[in-house]
Structure 1
Amino acid sequence: MRSKLVILLVAALVAVTGCATVPSGGDPIDYTQVADPGTQVRETTPADGLSPQEIVRGFVAAGARIDQDLPLVAARSYLTDAAKVSWRTDQGGVMILSASPRYDVLTGPSGAGDTVQLSGTSDGYLASDGSYVPTPRTEFTVAIALVQVNGEWRIQNPPEQLILSVSDFNLAFTQREVYFLNHAGTLVVPDRRWLPNSSLSPGTLVSRLVDSLIAGPSTPLIGAVRNSLQGARPRVPITATADGVLQVDLTGLPSLTAAAARGVAAELVYTLRLDAARIRILVDGTPLDANQAIWTTGVLGSFDPDGVPGSGPTSTVGYYVTDQGAVVNLRGVPLSGNAGTGELAAVSAGMSAATGDLAVVGGPEGAQTLYVGAPLAPEPMEPRLTAQTFTPPSFSRSGDEVWTVINGATSPEVVRLLTDGSRYPVDSSSLAGLGPVTGLALSSDGARVAVVADGGLYLASVIYADDATAGGDSGGGSGVATVGVPVRLRNDLTVRTVLWSNSLNLLVAASDPASTYRAVWRIGVDGRQRSALSTRGIVADVDAVGATGALPTLISSGGVILQLRGDDSSGDWVPVDPEGATAVGRWPLYPA
């Protein structure tokens, strides 16, 4: 049986376009023995008489057809015989250029113009595991040497990386996610990978996704997530049975507790949920759990990072901070106690969907206070911490922690505050040097934080100490939480505020160089994709965004709270209470 561990880019990046399906009848299908159509591509010979520049152009164009020619047979036809054998792309991945590359012919030692310099601007690349790595905007340059073989130019030192323009990349690749457990082992964390839009069978995709899961997380998530399948491998080929159930039989796993077995199932089921609704999981031929024959996302719903915790009245109601510093609902009704009176001089707020607790930042910059309490209770909210400034508060999924950055303009420090006022330690020294930190949002799974610093949008992992005591769904207990190295997600946006719209996307109030004012943008979790939400009805800068689940997105624009009616791309921004007075406010929010 062929090796199941993916270590090469070409082996890792086999996929199909869109959502695959498992057959519902017929004989079982061996998902590891499906022939790869790409291996049947026949090598063609470039036309005679091509110049060095034309040869390099042809080589790059052929590489862009990786979705149709996975072994890159056509691209290899532009190489010397020795280079055909030695060329490997497993270390370099895919370099993505913002536009078509430039080709400049250089004169080499022979004076025959036998070197072509390929160059272009890049904002990121694919690593060999298919994960996207955003980078500062840089000028990518590589010199490609050619020699004549039987009177025709051929490349003798092909670059380790495939080189694609953004437009070619968008046509050739699609996204999928593999899922790992968060530190607490209670939720799955998505790890996005980009795969060629190959016309291969659905089963090949399933096999590759399982391989990627076993191989482990991408570099930014190492230490922030747990891989329950580490050391495992498929014992026998993955098959789809006649009743439409995908069967995965693993070996190499240690003896598992019931909780650990559910973790294994959660990683597999969420990774393959677009490919199979029902999965049978075996370990060395024996059911993973004797009491659970078939695993589904319904059975493992508690692991869903996008499930909204809590079912109380606060979890489906929107709120905003008025210009008088009071917190009111979208109908203008103030919250109970001092949060609703304006006494706290609120400038931003956050609410937990799990507990209904409210965190409020009050007071002017330079002398601010963080208040935490139960807004529906008669008792006043208590001050928990004072600092020069606070970023808008962000609750953990379990609702027992509030995350914020204090003194962001001078010496930013991440605070992990328990609702009773005590603090857990955080090492946030990685934020030093980014510039003034004005925003932080904790992901629902607790594995990442999105950070706004000096107008840039960054993403960093959160790594909890191994000896941390058990915490809530997303927390890591009382052990030290370390904020990893922040990676700037986009070079083309100036960001004011950020929040997580779900586990795969961020929403930001931001502008790009072509914008006349700040609008709402959706940014993929790895920074690869961005899309602007509708601007219909927006006449001023967007200052803040509120969103959760399927409820209408909220914004503060020109000092007025608006909601999006209709779809994201073409809907209208309208008053939150069409029959009432204009909602004058500065900070919209939903419980999260």
Structure 2
Amino acid sequence: MPKYSSRRLRRIVALLALPAVVAAGCSTLPSNTSPQVLRSYDPAPQVQPMVGPQDGQEPDLLVRDFYRASALPSGDYAAARAFLTPEAAREWDPEAEILLVDAIDLTTRGSASSGDARTLEVRGNVIGTLEEGGSYITQNGGYEASIELAKVDGQWRIKDLPAGVVIERNELRNQYQPENLYFYAGSGQALIADRRWVFAGKDTLDTELITLLMEGPAPSLEPAIRTVLPPGAVFAGVEDGAYRFNGLAGMNEEDRMRFAAQLVWTLTTAGVPAPYEAIADGSPLLPELEEMTPDDFADYNPRASTNTVPGLFALNKGNVLRVTGTHVEPISGPLGDGGNVESAEISAVDKVAAVRSTGERSRLYLGDLSGTPVQAIEAKTLSRPTFERGGEAVWTVVDGQKVNRYVRSATSGQVVETEVDTSALENLSGEISVLRLSVDGARVAMIIDGKIYTGVNVREDNGSRRVVSVREIASELGGMALSLDWQPDGSLVVGTSSPDSPVWRVEQDGSSLTTLPSGNITAPVVSIAANQSTIFATDAHATLQLSSTDATSSFWREVPGLQGMRSAPIVAN
């Protein structure tokens, strides 16, 4: 397990809140914003600390309050600097790193110390870092540091400490808020979310998000992104309520429309009120739309999948069933009455992919829901298939190791097989038991030996696919994951073998995980699925559902139509 200390901190810089600067009725941002710190043209005004040390405060309590204050970046961390001696306040570099720990543990070094000096040892379990621009990256290691204190005018102050900032998990939630930036996947047709943590103590959320949008996607997501902005494009600030941009003169009409959609949906999902006015190089970004609203870009809505209820199906005794209200019936064809289906997936456009057993071997079949599927591959084992966005291509894991992609030709009916580049998994041991593509198709979630990993799906110029930016999340589950699925909001629901907490929600970036009600659901949870309002799970006894929108819902109920039928739920996405 790695340890993070003052001598091993990497250069990771915090996202700072943009101070509001008003001059001649115009609030502006730099035309050449630093990728490390967001600042206005003018020097940041001095900000009085929002919290500070108390008179006569004991060393351990002062250090704890210092770490709480470190979550406040306003005024170049003025609140935290108030706990330091004057010399330490001048020399401390909070921008060396932002580490997130589960909790801070303090112990005094040595059994004796002088009356005017004290050293405290700080320890914690590192759960993540905040990277440039507020991206959360999961980590798993230990943190150790020494804090030296001295008395200044009779009051304890910190005189020596490591560079960087350490924030407890609770303070991250209290002082920062997650927001989504939106960028285009490789096809350039769909907006996908890039989750960022933004300091909540300022009222300049719109300008902060636009500045981050102009800087581009997080490094982990960048390989999958198609950029529509030309080099040199910059956000020039706000004037008379209009967002102003420079360097967009060479953009064609289609890319201007796409950038406008990025801008609108980033602001809309963050709760910034519409309409929006955007000026590019002195003229409206879109001449026909001087004021823009989400309705103007409905075709680009990244949350469109949450506006319709997808169909529900189930796999029971080797047959695929359609669930309509309280009525259940087999789908037509061999997948509905053959009795040998191991797993299945159905897309929103009525495509079906199913794995059928022949005894010692498994076969993948592809087709239309109302037609006769054709065989794509035979192998010793095949994982449950998962569709790309649009439902034309499907992925499966062959024999626990190799990930293949299959597309059935609309004209010839022939199935084309290509191998997905998963070289990013080479250092991971174990078989891939579950693989699921996100609703937008941009991300991959996997279970490997009970551990959860996520990655990014890159579409290469030749049409091939590559999985990159693979990292483990939800390590707290201790390798007990059995099933998982993406929710429309980008989070994961995970079924486990834990008798105490069978089902969990895991945020897209792994920044937090929450146990779902467990009073009447029994591990193991071997199958799980979700739509925008409901989570479906197969536990040790039945097929159950739980409302994901009703905060008061605390009990799982049997799925209407599937009472007494222990089935695997299938949500058509």
Shorter-normalised TM range: 0.7 to 0.9
Q: Secondary structure at the match of 2:238?
A: coil
Answer yes or no: is 1:415 the counterpart of 2:404: yes
Match of 1:586 in 2: 567
Structure 1 residue 426: Cα displacement: 1.7
In the alignment, is the contact (CA less than 8 A) between 2:14 and 2:130 conserved in 1? no
Q: Distance in 2 between matches of 1:366 and 1:52?
A: 67
CA deviations on 1:128-149 (whole Å, 9 max, x unpaired) are 321111112x221112345666
Answer yes or no: is 1:370 the counterpart of 2:364: yes
Distance 1:426 1:51, change over 3 A: same
Please give the residue correspondences for 1:160-309 in structure 2 after superposition, counting only pairs within 5 Å.
160-198=163-201, 200-201=202-203, 204-229=204-229, 231-240=232-241, 247-253=242-248, 255-273=250-268, 274-308=271-305
Distance 1:121 1:309, change over 3 A: closer
Q: Distance in 2 between matches of 1:238 and 1:545?
A: 49
The one of the two structures with greater contact order (alpha-carbon pairs below 8 A, sep at least 6) is 1
Answer yes or no: is 1:458 the counterpart of 2:453: yes
CA deviations on 1:382-401 (whole Å, 9 max, x unpaired) are 11111222221111111111
Structure 1 residue 250: Cα displacement: 0.6
Matched residue type, 1:436:
E
Q: Secondary structure at the match of 1:488?
A: strand
In the alignment, is the contact (CA less than 8 A) between 1:180 and 1:228 conserved in 2? no
Kindly tell me the number of residue pairs found equivalent between the two proteins: 535
Match of 1:320 in 2: 314
Q: Distance in 2 between matches of 1:375 and 1:44?
A: 62
CA deviations on 1:220-250 (whole Å, 9 max, x unpaired) are 112122343463222352543xxxxxx2121
2:395 aligns with one of 378, 403, 416: 403
In the alignment, is the contact (CA less than 8 A) between 2:502 and 2:522 conserved in 1? no
In the alignment, is the contact (CA less than 8 A) between 1:543 and 1:586 conserved in 2? no
Match of 2:507 in 1: 524
Aligned-pair identity in percent equals 26
Matched residue type, 1:386:
E
Q: Distance in 2 between matches of 1:141 and 1:366?
A: 53
Answer yes or no: is 1:339 the counterpart of 2:335: yes
Distance 1:205 1:369, change over 3 A: same
Match of 2:425 in 1: 431
Structure 1 residue 360: Cα displacement: 0.5
Q: Secondary structure at the match of 1:449?
A: strand
1:498 aligns with one of 470, 474, 484: 484
In the alignment, is the contact (CA less than 8 A) between 1:401 and 1:418 conserved in 2? yes
CA deviations on 1:327-369 (whole Å, 9 max, x unpaired) are 01123311111110125x112111110x211000121786211
Q: Distance in 2 between matches of 1:365 and 1:573?
A: 35
Answer yes or no: is 1:89 the counterpart of 2:76: no
In the alignment, is the contact (CA less than 8 A) between 2:249 and 2:280 conserved in 1? no
Distance 1:530 1:517, change over 3 A: closer
Between stretches 83-92 and 119-128, larger displacement belongs to 83-92
Q: Distance in 2 between matches of 1:11 and 1:119?
A: 24
CA deviations on 1:431-466 (whole Å, 9 max, x unpaired) are 23242211111123322111111111111112222x
Between stretches 555-564 and 30-39, larger displacement belongs to 30-39
CA deviations on 1:188-237 (whole Å, 9 max, x unpaired) are 11111112231x32xx1111111111122222112122343463222352
Q: Distance in 2 between matches of 1:387 and 1:145?
A: 62
RMSD after superposition: 3.4
1:567 aligns with one of 540, 550, 567: 550
Between stretches 207-216 and 35-44, larger displacement belongs to 35-44
Q: Secondary structure at the match of 1:427?
A: coil
In the alignment, is the contact (CA less than 8 A) between 2:134 and 2:198 conserved in 1? yes
Answer yes or no: is 1:507 the counterpart of 2:493: yes
Q: Distance in 2 between matches of 1:97 and 1:581?
A: 43
In the alignment, is the contact (CA less than 8 A) between 1:107 and 1:115 conserved in 2? no
Answer yes or no: is 1:62 the counterpart of 2:69: yes
Structure 1 residue 277: Cα displacement: 2.2
Q: Secondary structure at the match of 2:517?
A: coil
Provide structure 2 residue ranges, at least 5 long, that are not aligned to the other structure.
1-10, 30-39, 410-414
Between stretches 148-157 and 213-222, larger displacement belongs to 148-157
Matched residue type, 2:544:
L
Distance 1:320 1:99, change over 3 A: same
Matched residue type, 2:219:
T
Provide structure 1 residue ranges, at least 5 long, that are not aligned to the other structure.
1-6, 17-26, 241-246, 469-477
CA deviations on 1:531-582 (whole Å, 9 max, x unpaired) are 33333542453221122234x33222235323335826525433333xx573
Match of 1:555 in 2: 537
Structure 1 residue 49: Cα displacement: 6.9
Q: Secondary structure at the match of 2:143?
A: strand
Structure 1 residue 266: Cα displacement: 1.8
Q: Distance in 1 between matches of 2:253 and 2:172?
A: 43
Matched residue type, 1:589:
I
In the alignment, is the contact (CA less than 8 A) between 1:107 and 1:113 conserved in 2? no
In the alignment, is the contact (CA less than 8 A) between 2:100 and 2:168 conserved in 1? yes
